Structure formats: C-alpha cells, structure tokens
Amino acid sequence: MCGMKAAGYAQVMSSEVTSKKAWEQVVDWVEQRVLSGELVVGSTLPAERDLALRVGVSRPAVREAVRTLQASGVLRSSVGAGGSGGTTVTGVPHQALTKLLRMHVALASFPATDVTQVRVVLERLSTSLATQRADSEQLAGMRAQVELMDDDGLSIEEFNGHDTQFHVAIAEAAGNRLATDLTVAIRESMRDPILEGLYALDDWKRVRGLLRTEHHAVLSAIEGRRADEAADLVEEHIRAAFARMSWLHDR
C-alpha cells in the first residue's frame, strides 16, 4: 500500500501556529482513532516508519509517542515480522495504574490518609459485591490466603503478601474491573510504606494476632453472605491497620 514516496519531513515549521510537539501529534493521531472506535483492542498500528510518514514526523517522535501510550497501558510493542510483531492496541490499565499511584504516593501527591480513605470506600464496595457474587471457588481462594496467614513461620513480607492477596481476591470476586484495578494499585502503592511500618512495630506478634482475627471475621461474614457486616468489618479492619502505624499518618 501507499505508492507515495514522501518527500521528507519539514524540520522547521516556520510560522506554524501548531505549538504541539511532534510526538504529541502522534499521540493525538492514535487517541483520536481509539476514541472513535477505529482502533480497538487487538488492532495493529502501522509500522513506526510508516506512521512517521503518515503523521509527518520523525521516527524518534513516533517512538516517544508510543512510550507515552504504552505507559498508559494502551499500546504494546514487540519486534519481529508478520502478525506477531508490531505495535498493537492492548487494554491493560492495571500495571499503568499501579505504577502511577506508587510514584505519586512516594511523591506525596496523594497523602496516605487520603489514599486510605479512598481505599476504605473501594473495599467496602468490593466486599459487599463479593459477598453477593463470589462462587465457591473464589471463596476457597480467599480462605486459602487467610489460613496461610495463620502460619507462625511466615516473614513479615510473606504475611503481608497473603494479606494483599486476600484483599485482591475479594476485589476480583466483586467483578468490578475498575474497583479491582484501583484496589490492587492502592495496595501495591502502599506496600513499601506498610512494610516499613510493620518492621517498626515493637509488638509485631500482637498486631499479627489482631490482623488474623480481623481477617477471619471478614471471611466469615463473606461466607455467611452478610454483605453489610462484611463491609463494616473491612472498613474497621483497614482503619485499625492504618491507625496502628501512627508514623504513617503525616506522609
């Protein structure tokens, strides 16, 4: 396709009111086609060299644009010829969301108290939905994590890992993709601060016992299909866990 040969780029666009940078033009090109439905998940973009010609920019500009959209979980690049290779449209916001939140929690763009507050309402929602929708397999997955946490031989990291997986299992059982991705992202973004907080505790074993009790209580309410109780217990659990790490509050 395309018999034209493209005479070359216009390096200096004098008197061009288009203050848009070259790579932004490419981002717009893609975004426009995604928003209009012309590009859907699974679509393959033109090769970088072709796209550069079409938009009228250089290949580095195209690549910078691809990075931008890749960082949002919209594109995915892989080398090689044929159907496999090329830059394709994905729809995987999970990773992007997690990285974004983690950085902004570290930069304190999102204070820990604000994040926790949002986490409470999200997990209330997830827990309530999961209580209504979870099938036996999903319930078994939750129970497995809770029971793994009863092992006294676990390190703090391992314990916290199962803790996270329990909450993620609830979110996934809820069947709300945005709530699930946000819950995972928030949890992951707070992982390092939480671990620091746990290590700083002088009575880890007592806290560990409290966490176990709370998790068992939440699980029981879910298994008993008591949605409101489960949501209340989750909220209480999250708030209590946050309160135990007092030094986190002013972050």
**Footprint of DNA on this chain (CB under 7 A)?**
1, 8-12, 14, 21-23, 45, 47-50, 56-61, 63-64, 66, 77-87
Q: Which residues contact 41 (CB under 8 A, 6 or more apart)?
A: 89, 90, 91
Helix (H) or strand (E) run with residue 230 in it? helix 227-244
Q: Which C-beta is closer to a copy of itself: that of 72 or that of 220? A: 72
What does 172 bind: a copy of itself, DNA, none (CB cut-off 5 to 8 Å by kind)?
Answer: none
Cβ at position 126, least distance to DNA in Å: 35
Cβ at position 101, least distance to DNA in Å: 25
Q: Which C-beta is closer to DNA: that of 18 or that of 136? A: 18
What does 130 bind: a copy of itself, DNA, none (CB cut-off 5 to 8 Å by kind)?
Answer: none
For residue 123 the two structure tokens come to 């997990």
**Helical ranges in 14-58 per DSSP H:** 22-35, 48-55
Task: List C-alpha distances in Å: 208 to 44, 55, 132, 156, 171.
Answer: 49, 58, 29, 9, 22
Cβ at position 70, least distance to a copy of itself in Å: 7
Q: Report helix, strand or coil for 117.
A: helix
What does 28 bind: a copy of itself, DNA, none (CB cut-off 5 to 8 Å by kind)?
Answer: none
Q: Which C-beta is closer to DNA: that of 13 or that of 121? A: 13
Helix (H) or strand (E) run with residue 136 in it? helix 136-148
Cβ at position 69, least distance to a copy of itself in Å: 8
Which DSSP string corresponds to 141-175? HHHHHHHHTT-TT--HHHHHHHHHHHHHHHHHHHT
**Separation of alpha carbons 88 and 40, rounded Å:** 9
Binding residues for a copy of itself, per CB under 8 A?
23, 31, 34-35, 37, 40-41, 60, 63-65, 67-74, 89, 91-93, 96-97, 99-100, 102-104, 106-111, 114-115, 117-118, 121-122, 124-125, 176-179, 181-182, 192
What does 102 bind: DNA, a copy of itself, none (CB cut-off 5 to 8 Å by kind)?
Answer: a copy of itself
What does 3 bind: a copy of itself, DNA, none (CB cut-off 5 to 8 Å by kind)?
Answer: none
**Separation of alpha carbons 175 and 184, rounded Å:** 13
Cβ at position 80, least distance to DNA in Å: 3
